[in-house]
Amino acid sequence: MFENLSDKLERAFKIVKGQGKITEINVAETLKEVRKALLDADVNFKVAKQFTDTVKTKAMGQNVLTAVSPGQLMIKIAHSELAELMGGQKSELDLKSNPTIILMSGLQGSGKTTLSGKLANFLKSKRQKQPLLVACDVYRPAAIDQLKVLGEQIGVPVFAEPGNTDPVDIAKKAIAFAKENHHNVIIIDTAGRLAVDEAMMNEISALKQSVKPHEILFVVDAMTGQDAVNTAKAFNDRLDFNGVVLTKLDGDTRGGAALSIKTVVNKPIKFVGTGEKLDALDVFHPERMADRILGMGDIVTLVEKAQEQFDEVEAARLQKKIAKNQFNFDDFLKQIQQIKKMGNMKDLMGMIPGVGKALKDVDVSNDSFKHIEAIIKSMTLAERENPAILNGNRRQRIAKGSGTNIQEVNKLLKQFEDMRKMMKMMSNPANAAKMMRQMPGMRK
């Protein structure tokens, strides 16, 4: 996501790096490259021009402090304007009404049905809501079945009336059902439609008029680039939607839709789909996305993802085991499984400042832990509990059972023992303070 744009922007800002001061000439050179990078990323031409004009005005009006280089200042201004371009701050769903009605809209193939499932999962797991999914796509074969499968996977009921071809009637009955069964959010999945299809646009307008949704979300495939922005404008003219959801932002997308859509339709991006799994839906944070585009990482999102998997009781139990040097392979396996739940490994590592660029051409597979898990699972319960008993014969058996070799088993055992010693040492505050003092640059 945004890799090419990030690279090109970095090259553009190198023009002013090392310069003694900001001048009309070096700013013009830099922003010419920035504009080119944005256009290559399929950003709307007017948006790209407006962006670079604003950055130029702000850069030329600033006095560069001796502690800040012109390059740093340009990046700071660009970061601020990029965040503003994408909406400035996150925009949450309005969930105050009971029930809150959310109407999904968009083109065919934009991923509305899957997104409806992801949104229901998000509201249930992270907002403690009791959602109801409503199948109002009466045209696409198997659309109702798809929604039911998604509902089963996340434990959310689906209201459907196979054979009923009136979406307005289905939606009205669903709302009555939701009120009777204490569902406080209703997510209405509708058929995909083209903005030029007058009959279909009239249908969704009638649906809006009838159910009076509190939120209308326009779901758009980020990989369609500038076309996504044009489609959003056409739909907004008819529906006056509340926000945009960009799907497939994890794909080979140039990012133009994310950077242009807020300016063109003046509606915020509320969510982004970042993968195929049903938990791969994130609230859109313009500032954090600007961080990622400019290669600054996104440590806040990384910490939030870690906290979602964090269990205080489990952490307290582990702390006691570490202090007594009793941390074992079962504990290690649980930690690996928690990390895997956080999401795509390369994306997670890319959130660490400086790491994303280093990993650009490196294939970081989600199966990175596979051989470690295989080795641990080939151990007996006694061996996991007490690695000290792993003699040569046991190691040979584990290597054979895990499809690895003795060298890999030995390497893992050594790394595990080194990690265990370090964890025990760091669990003692006095030892931790001593180690910090011994680190370069930490001595007083």
pLDDT tier at 429, thresholds 50, 70, 90? low
pLDDT band at 250 (very low <50, low <70, confident <90, very high): low
pLDDT at 444 over 90: no
Q: For 229, how many CA atoms within 13 A lie in the half-sphere containing its CB?
A: 21
How many separate helices (H) and strands (E) can be counted in the chain?
Answer: 21, 8
**Residue 135: pLDDT above 90?**
yes
pLDDT of amino acid 18: 57
Say if residue 349's pLDDT is above 80.
no
DSSP states of 310-331 as a string?
A: --HHHHHHHHHHHHTT---HHH
Highest mean pLDDT among 87-96, 117-126, 222-231, 257-266: 117-126
Contacts of 208 (CB under 8 A, 6+ apart): 103, 216, 239
User: Using 50, 70 and 90 to split pLDDT, how confident is the model at 405?
Assistant: very high
In this predicted structure, the answer to whether residue 436 has a pLDDT above a threshold of 60 is no
pLDDT above 70: residue 43:
yes
Considering only residues 443 and 383, tell me which one the structure prediction assigns the higher pLDDT: 383
What number of residues does the chain have? 444
pLDDT tens for 233-249 read: 888 888 899 998 988 77
| pLDDT value at residue 371 | 85
Instruction: Give the H/E segment covering residue 351.
Output: none
Q: Supply the pLDDT for residue 252.
A: 52
What pLDDT digit, counting tens, does each position of 76-115 carry? 788 888 888 888 888 889 898 989 999 999 888 788 899 9
* 100-106 vs 158-159, strand pairing mode: unpaired
Write down the pLDDT at residue 441: 42
CA torsion 246-247-250-251 (nearest 10°) is -110
Say what the pLDDT of residue 168 is. Answer: 93
For residue 400, what pLDDT is reported?
Answer: 93
- pLDDT above 80: residue 368: no
Q: What is the mean pLDDT of residues 111-131?
A: 92
For position 401, what pLDDT does the model report?
Answer: 93
The whole-number pLDDT of residue 285 equals: 85
CA distance 125 to 119: 10
Q: 295 near 81, Cβ under 8 Å?
A: no
Residue 151's pLDDT band (cuts 50, 70, 90): very high
| pLDDT classification of 394: cutoffs 50, 70, 90 | very high
- pLDDT of residue 359 exceeding 60, the answer is no
Cα angle 258, 259, 265; round to 5:
85
Which has more confidence, 295 or 177? 177
> Would you list the DSSP string of 162-175?
TT---HHHHHHHHH
Sequence-separated (6 or more) residues with CB below 8 Å from residue 124? 130, 131, 154, 155, 156
Once rounded to an integer, what is the mean pLDDT over residues 390-413?
Answer: 92
Residue 279: CB atoms within 10 A of its CB come to: 17
Confidence (pLDDT) at 29: 80
- Which tokens go with 259? 């950077």
DSSP, res 86 = T
Q: Which residues pair with 245 in a beta bridge?
A: 219, 271
Query: What is the share, in percent, of the chain residues with pLDDT greater than 90?
Result: 27
pLDDT tens for each residue of 172-230? 999 999 999 999 999 999 988 887 788 888 889 999 999 999 999 999 887 776 777 77
Residue 399: is its pLDDT beyond 70? yes
**Is 442 a residue whose pLDDT tops 70?**
no
Average pLDDT rounded to a whole number, residues 378-397: 92
Please provide the DSSP assignment of 6-45 as one string: HHHHHHHHTTTTT-SS--HHHHHHHHHHHHHHHHHTT--H
For position 92, what pLDDT does the model report?
86
- Report, as an integer, the average pLDDT of 422-443: 55
* Domains, the chain, with CATH or none: 3-85 (1.20.120.140), 100-296 (3.40.50.300), 306-438 (1.10.260.30)
pLDDT for residue 321? 76
17 pLDDT above the threshold of 90: no
